[in-house]
Structure 1
């Protein structure tokens, strides 16, 4: 019998087997419902609660504020990305939400003053806050008007605000036209005048809650204003963001290969002129799976290399210089290009390997390609390849930008 309830109603129903508070059980539970949720879209409130219950909301909170990051034996960026990647193998939309949770925490960590870091990062641990994002740098519709005492009124809108629905806090950026500068801050998502719109309806990444947020003369109090810094360590935030996306791509490639392998073993028959008794003995299929694996493990290796470079740079703190930072940007772009291509190629090759029956809508095996296609349009691949080419030819390192 088809479930005629609306997606919001289905979300409220308890899962038959609620996952234990560990990553392995979480992955199994997310995989069980991934195809259905991809078709339904909407807000994954139940699954976000599972992520919180698994203790993952504080992955990027520094150990000194009660989080899991650093502090001798704690998580590092390599570990954070391994977790995001693992979730992306089964559900890249929810992996995106966790990745952007980490990104907003980093925003407070590198742009906030000591009081802001202690308050907001500490409360993230104590209150188990989900963070939303209204810092889309290319969307300049949100205007900040200065008020007495150093605060602002925010009026306008921001798009692609991942994770805002169901969040308790959000980071925000706006344009102060009078001063000719950008303004950054932190606000509670439920503050008067903020409306989180349910208007996210893409072909993929359907549960990232990346819709529009509108602001109707919303207060940004003086103590909520953060100062964006251009010191090399602070600009690592951009690379943290880019490696979130990179590891989503890697996870999509891994997940597509895993699903292709499972489907192939259970359902695929040898082609009528192949001359083999088992599809797994078809030399063309062996070649296809070999190519899929090579692309996937190549993307894994490049992403791991970039994560280790980020860890090395992060640990230098304020001693990090611009050239060292630029080498991390180069490694990040190299990894992102490789992972971008792997995600698209492997998620398409899945169908070449598995055949026509694998296109059945209930299987939703196309979600890997659709998720990859949506996310790989985040910023143009060509400009990253250009930067890599410049370095290959004459050693010119990438400049700091909104995306490098």
Structure 2
């Protein structure tokens, strides 16, 4: 990678400002729905095949969704986070795997704004826009097995990292590792390398219950050469820099919401198509039976409540990131607590809907070719990413005492 120095005097810490217009939101909703409709055509076959999602990535690329958040002045669409979260939600209603790929890509890519110095961002933005890069990651904080050793004028990266979403199909991979030796000894660096750089071994070992097409396999690094030009920046506790992690959690919540909406819509379709009624029912059809209407009504109401909170926080994210270097730690933690609230309810409602929808669709809906299980498998898999009970504790501690957890890639 290379970097270009430009005048720093008038550059903000991040390039994001303002809110999404109705025109922007509507335009990208149409684009995302078109992508979702295409994915829906063979979603079950692709899930069963469990192949690397290369064609799906090309679909995202050709739609323009990969560069939605890249500022216009650097060749992107100049969109807002509210719009990006909406796209994640729409895709999740059909294909949770590709929704996750896109959500992770957005925050891997916008690491440019959260980690890189203002005068170094332009070249990174232009490279990602011109290359149509999908950004994978290798940052799993509970698997700290990477070693970044100072060597001459650069570094050598070695080790093994699991759960590297997008790495198997990404053009580049963003990595975090602490420097051993040299002038930056002990600093946690965020850096970016090509996925096919010499010494990078993509293991393609992701084979789980759900989220099967997220290219989340392990990566081994065999003495990979890293230069200063590959470095985005140092991972610090600057509030605007650490706002990336609540953004990731907000992406998760929108993904869970989309899965719930997809399961609900699919279940509604099945219920309306069911003939006759339960033998003890006085209704003509299952969909006219008050018992089934009550269940659908309960699930729909709870999903709508999560949607209302998500939409509020999605728009707020643009406000908070727009504060740039003026964002205070207090503002950051207050927003993180609100996102934790959403994470709790979106997790629980998403799992509940994906599970209980079977109560109204009946035993016949458990057939493999119906595909209703895909929603449950996907959300059950991803909601284990980090224990939701810890989010409940975060919410309670903050509400009671204003206490905050230690900074991490989970908080």
TM over 0.5: yes
CA shift digits 1:270-298 (9 cap, x unpaired): 11101111211111101100111012111
Secondary structure at 1:136 match in 2 = coil
Q: State whether residues 302 and 338 of structure 1, in contact with CA within 8 Å, keep that contact through their aligned partners in structure 2.
A: no
**Is 1:164 aligned to residue 167 of structure 2?**
yes
**Is 1:298 aligned to residue 289 of structure 2?**
no
* Offset of residue 395 of structure 1: 4.1
Secondary structure at 2:108 match in 1 = helix
Q: How many angstroms apart in 2 are the aligned matches of 1:132 and 1:334?
A: 27
**Is 1:281 aligned to residue 288 of structure 2?**
yes
Q: State whether residues 274 and 286 of structure 2, in contact with CA within 8 Å, keep that contact through their aligned partners in structure 1.
A: no
**Is 1:260 aligned to residue 267 of structure 2?**
yes
**Is 1:197 aligned to residue 197 of structure 2?**
no
Q: How many angstroms apart in 2 are the aligned matches of 1:268 and 1:349?
A: 20
Inter-CA distance 259–221: structure 2 relative to 1 (3 Å threshold): same
Q: State whether residues 305 and 331 of structure 1, in contact with CA within 8 Å, keep that contact through their aligned partners in structure 2.
A: no
Structure 1 segment 315-330 matched on structure 2, within 5 A:
315-330=322-337
* Offset of residue 267 of structure 1: 2.7
**Is 1:251 aligned to residue 255 of structure 2?**
no
CA shift digits 1:315-348 (9 cap, x unpaired): 1111111111111101110111110011100000
Which residue is 1:66 aligned to? 75
Deviates more, 1:321-330 or 1:259-268: 259-268
Q: State whether residues 57 and 128 of structure 1, in contact with CA within 8 Å, keep that contact through their aligned partners in structure 2.
A: yes
For residue 31 of structure 1, the aligned residue among 30, 40, 53 is: 40
**Is 1:211 aligned to residue 214 of structure 2?**
no
Higher relative contact order (CA 8 A, sep 6+): 2
Structure 1 segment 137-176 matched on structure 2, within 5 A:
137-149=141-153, 151-176=154-179
Q: State whether residues 327 and 397 of structure 1, in contact with CA within 8 Å, keep that contact through their aligned partners in structure 2.
A: no
Q: State whether residues 303 and 336 of structure 1, in contact with CA within 8 Å, keep that contact through their aligned partners in structure 2.
A: no
Gaps of 5+ in 2: 1-29
Which residue is 1:72 aligned to? none
Q: How many angstroms apart in 2 are the aligned matches of 1:141 and 1:395?
A: 34
Secondary structure at 1:90 match in 2 = coil
Q: How many angstroms apart in 1 are the aligned matches of 2:396 and 2:152?
A: 49
Q: TM-score, normalised by structure 1?
A: 0.90
Q: How many angstroms apart in 2 are the aligned matches of 1:195 and 1:395?
A: 44
CA shift digits 1:351-375 (9 cap, x unpaired): 1110000000122211101101111
Inter-CA distance 195–268: structure 2 relative to 1 (3 Å threshold): farther
**Is 1:99 aligned to residue 103 of structure 2?**
yes
* Offset of residue 184 of structure 1: 2.1
Secondary structure at 1:277 match in 2 = coil
Which residue is 1:374 aligned to? 381
**Is 1:237 aligned to residue 240 of structure 2?**
no
Inter-CA distance 278–113: structure 2 relative to 1 (3 Å threshold): same
Q: How many angstroms apart in 1 are the aligned matches of 2:277 and 2:57?
A: 41
Q: How many angstroms apart in 2 are the aligned matches of 1:190 and 1:93?
A: 23
Q: State whether residues 298 and 338 of structure 1, in contact with CA within 8 Å, keep that contact through their aligned partners in structure 2.
A: no
CA shift digits 1:60-99 (9 cap, x unpaired): 2223322223xxxxx2211110011001100010011111
* Offset of residue 398 of structure 1: 5.3
Which residue is 2:86 aligned to? 82
Q: State whether residues 249 and 372 of structure 1, in contact with CA within 8 Å, keep that contact through their aligned partners in structure 2.
A: yes
Structure 1 segment 107-126 matched on structure 2, within 5 A:
107-114=111-118, 116-126=120-130
Secondary structure at 1:198 match in 2 = coil
Q: State whether residues 188 and 234 of structure 2, in contact with CA within 8 Å, keep that contact through their aligned partners in structure 1.
A: no
Q: State whether residues 71 and 77 of structure 2, in contact with CA within 8 Å, keep that contact through their aligned partners in structure 1.
A: yes
Q: TM-score, normalised by structure 2?
A: 0.88
* Offset of residue 166 of structure 1: 2.1
Secondary structure at 2:66 match in 1 = coil
Q: How many angstroms apart in 1 are the aligned matches of 2:276 and 2:217?
A: 43
Secondary structure at 2:65 match in 1 = coil
Gaps of 5+ in 1: 1-20, 70-74
CA shift digits 1:245-292 (9 cap, x unpaired): 111100000000010011111135411101111211111101100111
Deviates more, 1:281-290 or 1:303-312: 303-312
* Offset of residue 175 of structure 1: 3.4
